């Protein structure tokens, strides 16, 4: 399964929203009815960390300015108001089917 993220780079003004799209080459709905799509954040020089799983569930400690949505093959990560600590690369990832795959990554930077 190929995941295509757009845009690949997103210069954003502090306090403004940002949106990242992730499109899958095939449906991510598992035979059990669940959709295994997650979003990870990788800050500069750090390992990735889980932001959102099951399309829209925020992981423990993740600020509510992050939200996920979508279904089937089209998914979106939204940051309602970008903060300085949000700078980094964001990846969508599917775990519906082996091999698990990641999108190419979207770099969020401050204008």
**Which of 53, 58, 62, 80 forms a contact with another protein (CB under 8 A)?**
53
Among 15, 33, 47, 84, binds another protein (CB under 8 A): 47
Instruction: Draw the binding track, 3-42, toward another protein (x: CB under 8 A; -: no contact).
Output: -------------------------------x-x-x-x-x
Contacts of residue 34, Cβ cutoff 8 Å, sequence gap at least 6? 54
Asked whether position 48 contacts another protein by CB under 8 A, the answer is yes
Task: Using CB under 8 A, list all residues that contact another protein.
Answer: 34, 36, 38, 40, 42, 47-50, 53-54, 59, 89, 91, 93, 95, 98-105
């Amino acid at each position: 399964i190929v995941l295509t993220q757009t845009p690949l780079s997103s210069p954003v003004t502090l306090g403004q929203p940002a949106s990242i799209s992730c499109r899958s080459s095939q449906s991510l709905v598992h035979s059990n009815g669940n959709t295994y799509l997650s979003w990870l954040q990788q800050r500069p020089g750090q390992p990735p960390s889980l932001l959102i799983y099951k399309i829209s569930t925020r992981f423990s400690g993740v600020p509510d300015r992050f939200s996920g949505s979508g279904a089937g093959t089209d998914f979106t990560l939204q940051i309602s108001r970008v903060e300085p600590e949000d700078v980094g690369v964001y990846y969508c990832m599917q775990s519906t089917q082996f091999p698990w795959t990641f999108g190419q990554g979207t770099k969020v930077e401050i204008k």
